[in-house]
Amino acid sequence: MPNDSTARERLLEGAEALFRKQGYAASGLTAILEISAGPKGSFYFYFPGGKRQLAGEVLDRYGRRGESAIRALAQKHSGEPAKFVRALFRAAAKMEATQCTKSCLAQNFANELAPADMEMADQLAAIFARWRAAIAAGLASEKVSRKAAEQKAMAILAALEGARTLARAMRSSAPFEAIVEAEWL
Amino acid sequence: MPNDSTARERLLEGAEALFRKQGYAASGLTAILEISAGPKGSFYFYFPGGKRQLAGEVLDRYGRRGESAIRALAQKHSGEPAKFVRALFRAAAKMEATQCTKSCLAQNFANELAPADMEMADQLAAIFARWRAAIAAGLASEKVSRKAAEQKAMAILAALEGARTLARAMRSSAPFEAIVEAEWL
Amino acid sequence: MPNDSTARERLLEGAEALFRKQGYAASGLTAILEISAGPKGSFYFYFPGGKRQLAGEVLDRYGRRGESAIRALAQKHSGEPAKFVRALFRAAAKMEATQCTKSCLAQNFANELAPADMEMADQLAAIFARWRAAIAAGLASEKVSRKAAEQKAMAILAALEGARTLARAMRSSAPFEAIVEAEWL
Amino acid sequence: MPNDSTARERLLEGAEALFRKQGYAASGLTAILEISAGPKGSFYFYFPGGKRQLAGEVLDRYGRRGESAIRALAQKHSGEPAKFVRALFRAAAKMEATQCTKSCLAQNFANELAPADMEMADQLAAIFARWRAAIAAGLASEKVSRKAAEQKAMAILAALEGARTLARAMRSSAPFEAIVEAEWL
DNA sequence: ACGTGCGGGACATCCCGTTATT
DNA sequence: AATAACGGGATGTCCCGCACGT
Which residue from D110, D76, D107 is spatially nearest to D91, judged by alpha carbons? Answer: D76
Least confidently predicted of A63-72, A152-161, B98-107, C67-76: B98-107
Share of chain D above pLDDT 70, in %: 95
Which strand F nucleotides have any atom less than 7 A from protein CB atoms? Answer: 1-21
Q: Is the pLDDT of residue B4 over 90?
A: no
Q: Which of D74, D77, D185 is nearest to D134 (CA)?
A: D74
Statement: residue B90 has pLDDT above 50: yes
Mean pLDDT computed over C86-94: 92
Answer whether any strand F atom is within 7 A of the Cβ of C39.
no
Rounded distance in angstroms from the CA atom of residue C77 to the C1' atom of nucleotide F22: 56
Chain A CB contacts of B24 under 8 Å are: 23, 25-26
Is the minimum CB–CB distance between D165 and chain C shorter than 8 Å?
yes
Protein CA at D17 to nucleotide C1' at F6, angstroms = 24
Q: Is A166 on the interface with B (CB under 8 A)?
A: yes
Chain A span 22-61 residues with beta carbon within 7 Å of strand E: 27-31, 41, 43-44, 48, 50-52
Closest C-alpha among D143, D43, D149, D138 to residue D88: D138
| Residue D4: pLDDT over 90 | no
8 A C-beta contact, residue A132 and residue B128: no
What's the CA gap between D66 and B16, in Å, rounded? 57
Is D179 within 8 Å of chain C by CB? yes
Q: What angle do CA A89, A91, A92 make, to 5 degrees?
A: 65
State the pLDDT confidence band at C119, using cuts at 50, 70 and 90. very high
Mean pLDDT (whole number) for A165-177: 93
Residue C1: which pLDDT band, with cuts at 50, 70 and 90? Answer: very low
Position D96 pLDDT exceeds 90 = no
Residue in C134, C152, C80 with CA at minimum distance from that of residue D182: C152
Q: Please indicate whether, in this complex, the C-beta atoms of A124 and B169 are within 8 angstroms of each other.
A: yes
Per-residue pLDDT for B106 more than 60? yes
Could C25 and D21 be called an inter-chain contact, meaning their C-beta atoms sit closer than 8 Å?
A: no
| CB contact A21 to B (< 8 Å) | yes
Q: Which residue blocks in chain C are alpha helix, DSSP H?
A: 6-22, 29-35, 43-46, 50-76, 81-92, 105-112, 118-139, 146-170, 174-181
Say whether the CB atom of B40 is under 7 angstroms from strand F: yes
Cα gap B131→B121, rounded to integer Å: 15
* B89: closest CA of chain A, how far (Å): 12
Report whether C151 contacts D178 (CB < 8 A).
Answer: yes
- Per residue in A112-134, pLDDT (tens digit) is 999 899 999 999 999 999 999 99
Q: What is residue B142's predicted lDDT score, i.e. its pLDDT?
A: 79
pLDDT confidence band for C144 (50 / 70 / 90) = confident
Name the average pLDDT for chain C: 92
Cα A170 to Cα A174, B113, B120, B142, distances in angstroms: 8, 13, 11, 29
Structure confidence by residue, pLDDT tens digits, B115-168? 999 999 999 999 999 999 999 999 988 788 999 999 999 999 999 999 999 999
B46: pLDDT strictly greater than 60: yes
Range D87-96 average pLDDT: 87
Q: Does pLDDT of C2 surpass 60?
A: no
For D37-47, what is the mean pLDDT? 90
Instruction: Determine the Cα–Cα distance for residues D143 and D141; give it in Å rounded to an integer.
Output: 5
Q: Name which residue leads in pLDDT, D40 or C57.
A: C57
Contact A158 B168 (CB under 8 A): no
Res D38: pLDDT: 85
Indicate the pLDDT class of residue C101, thresholds 50, 70 and 90: confident
A52 neighbourhood in chain B, CB within 8 Å: none
What's the rounded mean pLDDT across residues A168-172?
Answer: 92
Q: How many angstroms separate the Cα of C56 from the Cα of each of A108, C140, D100, D107? A: 56, 31, 20, 21
What is the per-residue pLDDT for D98? 56
Q: For chain B, how are helix, strand and coil distributed in percent, rounded to 5?
A: 75, 0, 25
Whole-angstrom distance, CA of residue A114 vs CA of residue C184 = 79
Nearest to C167 by CA among B159, D114, A118: D114
The mean-pLDDT minimum among A139-143, B122-126, C120-124, D22-26 falls in: A139-143
Q: Is the pLDDT of residue A164 over 80?
A: yes
Task: Provide the mean pLDDT of chain B.
Answer: 92
Q: Are the beta carbons of B15 and B32 closer than 8 angstroms? A: yes
- Shortest distance between the Cα of A181 and any Cα of chain B, in A, equals 8
Answer yes or no: is pLDDT of A28 > 60. yes
Give phi and psi for D99, each to the nearest 5.
-70, 105
Banded pLDDT at B77 (limits 50, 70, 90): very high
- Cβ burial of A83 (10 Å; 0-12, 13-18, 19+) is middle
Find the radius of gyration of the CA atoms of chain C. Answer: 18
Instruction: Give yes or no for residue A26 having a pLDDT over 60.
Output: yes
Cα distance between residue D103 and residue D154, in whole Å: 19
What average pLDDT does range D8-14 have in this prediction?
A: 94
Mutation site, B131, B170, B180, B183, interface A, largest A CB count within 10 A: B170
Digit-coded pLDDT (tens) for B52-64: 999 999 999 999 9
3-state SS, residue A16? helix
CA of A30 and C1' of F7: distance in angstroms? 17
pLDDT of residue B97: 52
Tens digits of residue pLDDT in C3-23: 566 889 999 999 999 999 999
Mean pLDDT within C33-41: 90
Average pLDDT of span A42-58 = 95
